[in-house]
Structure 1
């Protein structure tokens, strides 16, 4: 685990939570939060600017109803992004990779190494500027594909190489 990642995955306090299990959970990079905040902040400012421009040009005020809803949802996203990022994590186990995300709507997916067909690393311009990438696992079943956002570039490359090596030793998948 790098110093540029979160140090622990937060577990919901509810008695009905999905258990995390034993083993080492790897986290997202802290830069992921900054990238998300920048992206959502730019979107927030763009919506506000369009609403102001419509009011100045047309003189009507009805656009503030949909703009207000969009701005409220975006502001909520800005507030929960840091907590949401800490809920992401992945674990390499003997036969599969387990990915976990979510605060209220939790999702835990176990992807067997033998079902992986492709491991893809992508990063946009903002991601490259902050040194992060997203790793996507494509499986035989579309519903079990996993995308792990916000990994450091080194972690994404290491995870890709590890998954390819495991698949080659088992002569399954990839």
Structure 2
């Protein structure tokens, strides 16, 4: 066996005839099996869904825990130092909403996915309020990777695709750094190919 057979390429490369090829990098360390609504009215597509990293949920838990701590400390300062006991009402509401968000977050994360098709990338999220966005490769103007300090600590990034129409911009959270970079390079290369064909 040759080296190319034993060590397949890890970065997806574009195909001008049928869209980008698939890559093991995009599925390394991600959820397996996207969570979809079960009703007859659900939106369904044929193809392979790629999902986000479970480390995204951990990162969001830590960020929300820090936010709750800041809210509680602020309420303590207002009530004990300034004798403003009313501060516990908005603080309690904020904490409860944040805790509900944290409870729902793992299910939401499993419903986030993207699919590389021949002419576009499809992004989906949500169970009750399902949203699907298809972004044509030739319409992409910017592909950007962002990650804050906690995201870097957990090794996750957010990839943002911007098109001429602001409403079709897509942000894919919770990608591993390697997957974000591989996806960015693929999208840029395929977008250039599609634009030259317009």
TM range (shorter): over 0.9
Q: 1:117 and 1:74, CA in 2 relative to 1: closer, same or farther beyond 3 A?
A: same
- Contact 2:120 2:134 survives alignment (8 Å): yes
SS at match of 1:4: coil
Structure-1 residue corresponding to 2:164: 140
Structure-2 residue corresponding to 1:7: 32
Query: What is the aligned-residue RMSD (CA, Å)?
Result: 1.5
Q: Number of residue pairs matched?
A: 172
Instruction: Choose which of 7, 14, 18 in structure 1 pairs with 2:43.
Output: 18
Q: How does 1:1-174 map to 2 (within 5 A)?
A: 1-19=26-44, 21-172=45-196
Q: Which has the higher contact order (CA 8 A, sep 6+)?
A: 2
Q: 1:172 and 1:102, CA in 2 relative to 1: closer, same or farther beyond 3 A?
A: farther
- Contact 2:27 2:50 survives alignment (8 Å): no
Structure-1 residue corresponding to 2:20: none
Higher alpha-carbon Rg: 2
User: How far did 1:168 drift?
Assistant: 2.2
Query: Under a length normalisation based on structure 1, what TM-score does the superposition of the two structures give?
Result: 0.93
User: How far did 1:2 drift?
Assistant: 3.4
Tell me how far apart the structure 2 counterparts of residues 98 and 32 of structure 1 sit (CA, whole Å).
20
User: How far did 1:3 drift?
Assistant: 4.2
User: How far did 1:172 drift?
Assistant: 4.7
Query: Under a length normalisation based on structure 2, what TM-score does the superposition of the two structures give?
Result: 0.82
User: How far did 1:132 drift?
Assistant: 1.2
**Runs of 4+ displaced beyond 4 Å:** none
SS at match of 2:172: strand
List per-residue Cα deviations over 1:139-158 (Å, max 9, x = no partner): 01000000101100111111
